[in-house]
Amino acid sequence: MDLLAHLPALQVVVPMLSAPLIVLLQPRGLAWAGATAAALVSFAIALTLALAVLDGQTLEYAMGGWPAPYGIALSVDAFSALLLLVITGAGATALLAARSSIDQQVESERQPLFYSAWLLVLSGLVGIVVSADAFNIFVFMEISSLASYILIAGGPDRRALPAVFKYLMMGTIGATFYLIGVGLIYMMTGTLNLADIQDRLGDVTDINPVLVAAGFITIGLALKAAVFPLHVWVPNAYTHAPHMVTVFLAACATKVALYVLIRFDYMVFQATLEDHEIQFALFAMPLAILGILIASAVAMFEGHLKRLLASSSIAQIGYILLGASFVSMAGLSASAMHLFNHALAKGGLFLAVACLAYKYRDLRLNQLGGAAARMPWTCAAFVVCGLSLIGVPGTAGFISKWLLITAALESGPWGWGLVAIILVSSLMAVVYVWRIVEALYFQAPVDGEGPTSEAPVQMLLVTGFIALLNIYFGLFPQVPLELANSAAALLLEGSQ
């Protein structure tokens, strides 16, 4: 049996079938071990798929042997392989580090259910990425969203409940918009398979329902992706969720919605609607610029560590959208690369935050004075990931920002203006990262008492490893860069 041919299906099946089994595992340590093992297997599958894609293969899978467009089709190309690495890597890394933090934040009898929901989020997110038809993207979107609500509300902070309610309302509106758009597309073409939609849209004579569908799908996915100004659910959801849930979701959840938005627009609408690339650029670029500047400004004045990093994430989403709005090879490559690099930087930052939160009950900056003297390894990892977020040379963040600047210069006469915006926003990132560093290293402790030791070794090792990966991929970016370049070429080819 050729196992490689079945890996696209196993990528979804392994975490999905593991989820109900985890509920049965007692005591809580066994549930954590089972969930971590399933997540690591998922990451191994994603890695194998990425290597196959780098070898020039595009993996297609027909569920039940029913060929597309009649059956459920799965597909893994360079773009999806890059996202699979991000999702499964974030899920497995956060779980590896999670045990002590989850023991502290989630009641022991509820932990099997909690880890089960974690695997459902993982299976939903990878399902979105490998699905080759519009309706199954919606199904997996709902699976991951419903399980995400459970994870965010699963901690001891009761403020998570209104945050989840807001997330649920915004998420439901986004999913409804997406479903209405898909329904209109199905009404006009009679198919839900993305490749088949692209083929049949060329024969549609009444284009108005398709334009309306494009609007609904774009707005719905922008809501899910937290594109400015549709991001209002993000700060509270990230702030009040259990710390390891924030690590997982901040690294990949909104990026999956951005992935669908970019793929749908390039592979379906730009290929069939006249001048749609201009409409996409006119929609995406202003929102991206506003998101970058306003969210960075908010982060500069935010006093709570998790909320500050959540605002920063809105700005980083703006960078990804800005690259896609150039509708060029360089822009799409920068966008795909930033999907990967931001997951590394922000995942590492939130891991360091989880380490700090293990010792400090209050994560406001004025309460973290002198933390570096007490938790030097945690704070060192935070600094490395912060440098990557800023885009300092030698870190992963520099690679994607350099690609973005190059793409901006190639985009036309306004390119220097866009470069100025990227540089100004990077300086704003210096300011808000420095505020944290200043509190950790240079402010005196609020009182004489405080933590006398580092976070548990397991959390610390994983955090340090992710910090080192930020340096490694800053010096040796070949693998994600090759996937990003292939993804960009694929999207541009699909839009022709």
Q: Is residue 241 in a domain?
A: no
Percent of the chain past pLDDT 70, that is, above it, reads 98
**Backbone phi, then psi, for 104, in 5-degree steps?**
-75, -30
The answer on pLDDT for 186 being more than 90 is yes
Residue 88 domain flag: no
Tell me the sheet residues that pair with 60.
Answer: 75
pLDDT tens digit sequence for 318-357:
999 999 999 999 999 999 999 999 999 999 999 999 999 9
* Residue 395: per-residue pLDDT: 95
Structural domains of the chain, count:
1
Residue 348 lies in a domain: yes
Domain that holds residue 306: 286-495
Predicted local distance difference test score (pLDDT) of residue 448: 61
Q: Which residues contact 361 (CB under 8 A, 6 or more apart)?
A: none
Both tokens of 163, joined, read: 């945050």
SS3 454: coil
Tell me the range of 24-28, 50-54, 56-60 where mean pLDDT is highest. 50-54
| b/e code 207-216 from CB counts within 10 Å (16+ = b) | eeebeebbbb
Rounded CA-CA distance 144/122 in Å is 7
Residue 82 has pLDDT above 90, yes or no: yes
pLDDT in the model for residue 68:
77
> Would you say residue 425 has pLDDT above 90?
yes
The per-residue pLDDT for 243 is: 93
Please give the backbone phi and psi of residue 12, each rounded to the nearest 5 degrees, phi first. -90, -40
pTM: 0.94
162: in domain? no
Residue at 296 is within a domain: yes
Tell me the two tokens of residue 244.
Answer: 């390891």
pLDDT (0 to 100) of residue 202: 80
Task: Note whether residue 103 is domain-resident.
Answer: no
pLDDT in tens, 193-240: 988 998 888 888 888 899 999 999 999 999 999 998 888 888 899 999
Alpha carbon distance 396, 474 (integer Å): 4
User: Does position 410 have pLDDT exceeding 80, yes or no?
Assistant: yes
d(CA 141, CA 159): 25
Is 70 exceeded by the pLDDT of residue 495?
Answer: no
Name which of 218, 234, 217 is nearest 226 in CA terms. Answer: 234
- Assess if residue 66 is contained within a domain: no
Q: At a CB cut-off of 8 Å and minimum separation 6, what does 303 contact?
A: 364, 365, 366
Specify the pLDDT at position 397. 94
d(CA 262, CA 52): 23
pLDDT at residue number 130 = 95
SS3 of residue 159 by DSSP: coil
Average pLDDT over residues 56-81: 88
What one-character DSSP code corresponds to residue 414? T
| pLDDT over 90 at 118, yes or no | yes
**The pLDDT of residue 56:** 87
In this predicted structure, what is the pLDDT of residue 74?
Answer: 93
Model pLDDT, residue 277: 87
Q: Which residue has the tokens 């990262």?
A: 433
Residue 88's pLDDT is 96
Mean pLDDT of the chain: 91
pLDDT per residue as tens digits for the range 293-315: 999 999 999 999 999 999 999 99
Residue 154 pLDDT level (bands cut at 50, 70, 90): confident
What mean pLDDT do residues 463-472 have?
A: 96
Q: At 420, which amino acid appears? A: A
Q: Residue 1 has what pLDDT?
A: 62
- 463 domain residue, yes or no: yes
3-state secondary structure of 404: helix
pLDDT, mean of residues 54-78: 87
Residue 28 has pLDDT above 80, yes or no: no
